[in-house]
A and B are shown apart, each in its own frame.
Chain A
Amino acid sequence: MSTVAPPPSLDDIRACFEGAIPAQVATCARDGTPNVAYISQVYYVDDRHMALSFQFFNKTRQNILANPYATALLLDPVTVAFYRLQLRYLRTETSGALFERMKAQLSGIASHSGIAGVFRLLGSDVYEVESSKASKAGAWRRRRRATDCWRVCGARPSASPHAARPTSCCRRCSRRSTTTSTCATRWC
């Protein structure tokens, strides 16, 4: 019996929020003109909310103030799987715990990227995540890896829900995959 994988929650894809790889965020102006930009910082707020750094009054910011819907494409730096999130802008925080945490993380990202001094946090733009899904390409890669593991050790692939943290997918062959620990116990 085939099962439909549930959409990944933000808890499942926490690695995407570590700031290792910039995310792409697409917005749309009131007249329908699209805009897409790399965003250096996407921040996990809770399982339903994330925040983007507001550093300059750029087109992304102009657009979300006029039209609050956005799409973010995140890349897991460990599994290299893509995730597409549908977002709705809620508010901007310019002080408080979230703002201070993002400010500290942004400083680290800027330093790591070799462009310290360029980034200055003006606000934390908080978004509700209305839906999320693993990209088709990512899903295909995970299917391929599951097949590879089966070929090596004969372990039966389960219906992997979606990528989370990498774990040893199979105790027999110790191959690493993008499956969850739940899958590991099912497989072997």
Chain B
Amino acid sequence: VAATARIAVVFSEPLSHRTVQVKAREAELRAATEDDMPLLRRYRVSMEHEVGCLGYDGHVIQTMLSFRLDDVVAIRFSPVEALDQTPGPKAGTALPATSAA
């Protein structure tokens, strides 16, 4: 990302396997700060719930997503492409863009 400002990120919902990839061309890097902590905590709590539904203990996700704030890098970007990557023959299909209101 630092070299090209290009980025691809994939998100998957473990319970439904619904998966989406987004891509961007002008990603910006910065160090994470205390201001980012509420977002990081919310994501971890959400993942604990989601993966907990699959039978995993909360401490598995807590360990998996444990971090030291000075190790975390925040990346800001506006997606220019989105793809459905849910497992199956349609994986890789472009998702239609919706115009901004």
Contact = CB atoms under 8 A, between A and B. Distances in A.
Contacts, number: 57
Nearest to A75: B64
Interface in A31-86: 32-38, 40, 56, 58-59, 75, 80
Contacts of B12: 22, 38
Contacts of B8: 26, 33-36
B3 to A, nearest CB: 10
Interface string B72-101: 000000000001010111011000000000
Interface residues of B, number: 25
27 contacts: A32-B6, A33-B8, A34-B6, A34-B8, A35-B21, A36-B9, A36-B21, A37-B21, A37-B91, A38-B12, A38-B87, A56-B92, A58-B91, A58-B92, A59-B92, A75-B64, A80-B60, A80-B63, A115-B17, A118-B88, A137-B66, A137-B68, A137-B71, A140-B66, A140-B68, A140-B71, A141-B66
Contacts of B85: 37-38
A22 B60 CA distance: 15
A119 interface: yes
Contact of B17 (A34, A80, A113): A113
Nearest to B1: A34
Interface of A: 22, 24, 26, 32-38, 40, 56, 58-59, 75, 80, 113, 115, 118-119, 136-137, 140-141
Contacts of A38: 10, 12, 19, 85, 87
Contacts of B44: none
Contacts of B60: 80
Nearest to A59: B92
B52 to A, nearest CB: 14
A36 B92 CA distance: 11
Contacts of A137: 66-68, 71
Contact of A115 (B66, B83, B87): B87
Interface in B5-26: 6-10, 12, 17, 19, 21, 23
A36 B71 contact: no
B57 to A, nearest CB: 11
